[in-house]
Copies of this chain bind each other. A is one copy, B any other.
Amino acid sequence: MNINDLINHTGEWLKGKGSHADIVMSSRVRLARNLAKRPFPNRAQKRELEDIMEEARAAVGKIDLLKKCEFIRLNDIDQIDKQILVERHLMSHEHAANTLGKALVLSKEEAISIMVNEEDHLRMQVMQSGLNLDDTFALVSGIDDELSKYLDFGYSMHWGYLTACPTNTGTGMRGSVMLHLPALVMTKQINKVLTAVNKLSFTSRGFYGEGTQASGNFFQISNQVSMGQSEVDIIQNINGLIRQIVDQEEQARQALLVQNRPMLEDKIHRSYGILKSAYLISSQETVELLSLVRLGIDLGIIRDLDRRLVNDLFIRIQPAHLQKIEGKKLNASDRDAKRASVIREKLTPNGH
């Protein structure tokens, strides 16, 4: 696989399919695992990191589930390509920053990605479109089972899986769901929802990952506690919480349609109109307008556009993607122009 193939393609988690795909963009489960007899990456020497990477590569090669995956040494690819992997939610910012002894195992459809030597030796991630934590968990769990035949994972009978940071110890699992909640934001109910989320020991982050602000009305909800509960219980708890939030968003959408339809239609059609016609546009404005267009598709107000295309645009309008498409480095104002042109092309296929 090369990164050019990646950007001409829509990741599995962006396909806009699956249960509640109007409100639930995607489901993700990751497991943190470490090799028992090796120091955690932040304590390991270069040589040890290389050994761990080789051990991981050998194990990956033996497993049917990962047979079609590519094993990418991050030192072998350039800065833009690393950034593209980050922008596609396939690895963390940190994993791209210092790439010594680091790798990424990546499936063609981008459903599976395994960071090697990030904070833990292995961070296995599976992402799917829609609300589908059960299948997502089943797949990552299967990968974990297979890998554990060839790798000796650090595990304590008392603590569970051992991890570099104690917040991940136990199951080493984090389940998260990317929610699109424009109606809860418009009706000003979102803070009440997020307060409840935090009280229940879940966290909320923005679309663009840890430390990012909510933008485009996206909220990524995940479990904070990975210890003292089984994986299945954690998944069940997240599912229960998400179903409640989905219900509330659905109610808020219906209320908006009943009480404010003309205002809503105007906002949505204008957003679509601006995206189709702008020649300079910031990523912040793009995300806000795309959010309204996505809502318009969900509500049947926009009928000539596919949710998948909009989902994909949220990814494609980021800096590294724009530079990859253009084939060269772009400064901020060049990116605003390129972003506008990419959006126009996608939204008006027959040209302007």
Binding site for B on A (CB under 8 A): 262-263, 265-266, 269-270, 272-274, 276-281, 333, 337, 340
CA distance A279 to B263 in the complex (A): 8
CA distance A277 to B277 in the complex (A): 10
**Majority DSSP secondary structure for residues of A touching B:** helix
Contact among B266, B276, B279, B280 for A280, CB-based, below 8 A:
B266
A262-B333, A266-B279 known, 17 other contacts, Cβ within 8 Å: A262-B279, A262-B337, A263-B280, A265-B279, A266-B280, A266-B340, A269-B277, A269-B278, A270-B278, A270-B279, A273-B273, A273-B276, A273-B277, A273-B278, A274-B274, A274-B277, A276-B277
CA distance A262 to B278 in the complex (A): 10
CB<8 Å pairs between A and B, sample of 26: A262-B279, A262-B280, A262-B333, A262-B337, A263-B280, A265-B279, A266-B278, A266-B279, A266-B280, A266-B281, A269-B277, A269-B278, A269-B279, A270-B274, A270-B277, A270-B278, A270-B279, A272-B277, A273-B273, A273-B274, A273-B276, A273-B277, A273-B278, A274-B274, A274-B277, A276-B277
Copies, count: 2
CA distance A321 to B280 in the complex (A): 35
Which of A266, A277, A278 has the most B CB atoms < 10 Å from its CB?
A277
CA distance A266 to B263 in the complex (A): 25
Contacts of A269 in B (CB 8 A): 277-279
Cβ of A109 to closest chain B Cβ, rounded Å: 35
CA distance A28 to B262 in the complex (A): 40
Cβ of A29 to closest chain B Cβ, rounded Å: 40
In the complex, which residue of chain B has the Cβ closest to the Cβ of A273?
A: B277
Cβ of A72 to closest chain B Cβ, rounded Å: 37
Contacts of A262 in B (CB 8 A): 279-280, 333, 337
CA distance A269 to B337 in the complex (A): 13
Cβ of A167 to closest chain B Cβ, rounded Å: 45
CA distance A148 to B55 in the complex (A): 107
Contacts of A273 in B (CB 8 A): 273-274, 276-278
Cβ of A285 to closest chain B Cβ, rounded Å: 11
CA distance A70 to B270 in the complex (A): 43
CA distance A340 to B274 in the complex (A): 15
CA distance A265 to B280 in the complex (A): 9
Contacts of A280 in B (CB 8 A): 262-263, 266
CA distance A59 to B279 in the complex (A): 58
Which 5 A-B residue pairs are closest in the complex by CB-CB distance? A273-B277, A266-B279, A266-B280, A273-B273, A269-B277
